[in-house]
A and B are shown apart, each in its own frame.
Chain A
Amino acid sequence: MAEMGRAIVMSPEDNTAVALADLAAGEDVSLKIAGRTVTTRLLDAVGFGHKFALKDIAAGEKVFKYGTVIGLASSAIASGQHVHIHNVESIRVRGDKKK
């Protein structure tokens, strides 16, 4: 069953949402985004405070939270997948790539 208040989306442009509880894989999460209810079926377990994708994000595509780019997808991310350091890279502060 879809339940409100289990997650939060910071800005309507975002392609990620934040879990407000420990969410299980297979759970349907509903969010009001710009007046529309969007339901996402989780493909992964997503812990409190962690992000999941609200739509499919291609490798190299921008990842949005707060309506602003927080990094680039380092691999393809499907809607409902956990979004974190395993599939998103910072665009900034990569001194190790400047060699």
Chain B
Amino acid sequence: MTKFRGYRRPDGRIGVRNHVAVLSAMDNSNAAASRIGAMVNGTVVLSTPFGRTQIGHDSEMTTRTLAGFGSHPNIASVLVVGLSLDSANALADRIRPSGKPIGTLGLQDCGGPINLTAEGAKMATDMVIAASRLAREECDFSDLSIAVECGGSDTTSGIASNPALGHFADRFVDAGGTIVLSEPAEFMGAEHILAERAESPEDRQRIYDMVKWFEDEAGRAGVDMRGINPTPDNIRGGLTTLEEKSLGAIIKGGTRPVREVIDYSEPSTKRGLVIMNTPSAACESMTGLAGGGSQIILFSTGRGNAIGAPVAPTVKVSGNPNTVSSMTEIIDLDVSGILTRGESVESAGERLWNEVLAVASGALVRCEVLGEEQLAVSRFGPSV
């Protein structure tokens, strides 16, 4: 059993980071949350530009995502701020099952943003000091949920970096861990490969349905997806069609059976390979993956894409020799040797395994250090 050093949380999940979050319940408390975060070192501010008067699926997706971040095992404690205590408490109630310390504040109840900032800064200071006294302990690597993502893809993604991620994914699943693959629009042309690997007929159908939904959306909008997906940088990188991009993209999930298909920001209930329904925009997708509780994201890039998820350290892997030499500051693991030196995928996968173990035990990744992080909750309809 492979071990690493992590933070054991009250709900039994394991953290690879020990953040204190200042979580804004919706758009109208973001400024106050940012002000508290700027005052108190050691906090991470989590906010989304929408929330108030969202309805139906969007409302649930936003709340589930914010609650998922608040409950995330990489977060030791959370201060929830809202326009009123009602909205702060409603969100906090969905985080309480995690058992972690939670504070709530309302801007109206505090008597304005200045009082809220002062009160929130005091509470956050106490939280950061308490969190700093928590210690890492030996944990099972396979208790982690690790998500796989790609962005700024080119031909090298399907030949080098995604195969390295796929090798990691199979080994991690075989060890008892959970791998989350997302972005079903980028299964298009390759969905039969994943659908045939679904353990249940319901999930098999769901994979086809998710892909068809995205394809139908392009139909309803009357657009030719070329130039949108594949994107112009994908095309410059040699990817001709979405089918070609998809075939290269699904490799990063490995080859094991699909145990479960889950919705955006939903936690998985099974171990093994899991598919989450997210849009193929990387920030939105990674927000769903982190919102669902994945502790680490492995991000394969060809052309170079710097962005990572807040809270869940995002490990950048590239097989493009030009990108790894021109964008050294964003690439955590160079696997271009697969193309230039005949390095085997197994060897690159082994190096990735060691890299992820180090990150799980606290080694920082580049987008964390650079602050290249963006939370972006998906939305499909208008607010009312």
Instruction: Indicate which residue in B188, B247, B320, B322 contacts A66 across the interface (CB closer than 8 Å).
Output: B247
Judge whether A18 and B238 touch: CB under 8 Å: yes
Judge whether A68 and B190 touch: CB under 8 Å: yes
Residue of B nearest to A84 (CB): B240
User: Of residues 219 to 248 in B, which have CB atoms within 8 Å of A's CB atoms?
Assistant: 219-226, 229, 235, 237-238, 240-244, 247-248
Q: Does B218 contact A (CB under 8 A)?
A: yes
A residues lining the B interface (CB < 8 Å) = 5, 8, 10, 18-20, 47-51, 63, 65-66, 68-71, 83-85, 88-99
Judge whether B221 and A95 touch: CB under 8 Å: yes
Instruction: Indicate which residue in A48, A69, A96 contacts B322 across the interface (CB closer than 8 Å).
Output: A48
Judge whether A92 and B188 touch: CB under 8 Å: yes
Q: Considering the chains assembled together, what is the distance between the CA atoms of A10 and B220 in angstroms?
A: 35
Judge whether B242 and A90 touch: CB under 8 Å: yes
Stretch at the interface among B64-72, B151-159, B260-268: B151-159
Q: Does B215 contact A (CB under 8 A)?
A: yes
Q: Does B337 contact A (CB under 8 A)?
A: no
Residues of B within 8 A of A5 (CB): 342
Judge whether A88 and B159 touch: CB under 8 Å: no
Binary per-residue interface labels of chain B (280-318) against chain A in the complex, 1 for a CB within 8 Å, 0 otherwise: 000000000000000000000010000000000000000
Q: Considering the chains assembled together, what is the distance between the CA atoms of A91 and B218 in angstroms?
A: 13
Judge whether A93 and B225 touch: CB under 8 Å: yes
Q: Considering the chains assembled together, what is the distance between the CA atoms of A5 and B342 in angstroms?
A: 9
Residue of B nearest to A20 (CB): B339
Instruction: Indicate which residue in B158, B225, B244 contacts A94 across the interface (CB closer than 8 Å).
Output: B225
Q: Does B176 contact A (CB under 8 A)?
A: no
* Whole-angstrom distance between the Cβ of B237 and the nearest chain A Cβ: 5
Residues of A within 8 A of B218 (CB): 93-95
Judge whether A71 and B223 touch: CB under 8 Å: no
Q: Does B257 contact A (CB under 8 A)?
A: no
* Whole-angstrom distance between the Cβ of A41 and the nearest chain B Cβ: 20
Residues of A within 8 A of B222 (CB): 95-96, 98-99
Asked whether A70 and B241 contact (CB < 8 A) given A10-B159, A85-B226, the answer is: yes
Residue of B nearest to A92 (CB): B188
Q: Does B113 contact A (CB under 8 A)?
A: no
Q: Considering the chains assembled together, what is the distance between the CA atoms of A90 and B156 in angstroms?
A: 20
Residue of B nearest to A71 (CB): B241
Residue of A nearest to B190 (CB): A68
Binary per-residue interface labels of chain B (182-225) against chain A in the complex, 1 for a CB within 8 Å, 0 otherwise: 00000011100100000000000000000000010011111111
Judge whether A68 and B154 touch: CB under 8 Å: no
Q: Considering the chains assembled together, what is the distance between the CA atoms of A67 and B342 in angstroms?
A: 22
**Top 10 A-B residue pairs of the complex, sorted by shortest distance between their CB atoms:** A49-B238, A49-B155, A93-B225, A90-B241, A70-B244, A96-B224, A95-B218, A50-B238, A71-B241, A95-B219
Residues of B within 8 A of A66 (CB): 158, 244, 247-248
Q: What are 17 A-B residue pairs whose CB atoms fall within 8 Å in the complex?
A: A8-B159, A48-B322, A49-B155, A51-B240, A69-B189, A70-B241, A70-B243, A71-B244, A84-B240, A89-B241, A91-B241, A92-B188, A92-B242, A92-B243, A94-B225, A97-B224, A98-B219
Judge whether B243 and A90 touch: CB under 8 Å: yes
Residue of A nearest to B221 (CB): A95
Judge whether B243 and A50 touch: CB under 8 Å: no
Judge whether B159 and A71 touch: CB under 8 Å: no
Contacts A50-B238, A68-B243 aside, 6 further interface pairs with beta carbons under 8 A come to A48-B238, A49-B302, A65-B244, A70-B243, A95-B219, A98-B222
Judge whether A84 and B247 touch: CB under 8 Å: no
Instruction: Indicate which residue in B156, B158, B235, B240 contacts A83 across the interface (CB closer than 8 Å).
Output: B240
Judge whether A85 and B240 touch: CB under 8 Å: yes
Residues of A within 8 A of B247 (CB): 65-66, 68, 70
Residues of A within 8 A of B243 (CB): 68-71, 90-92
Judge whether B237 and A49 touch: CB under 8 Å: yes
Residue of A nearest to B320 (CB): A49
Asked whether A95 and B241 contact (CB < 8 A) given A49-B155, A66-B247, the answer is: no
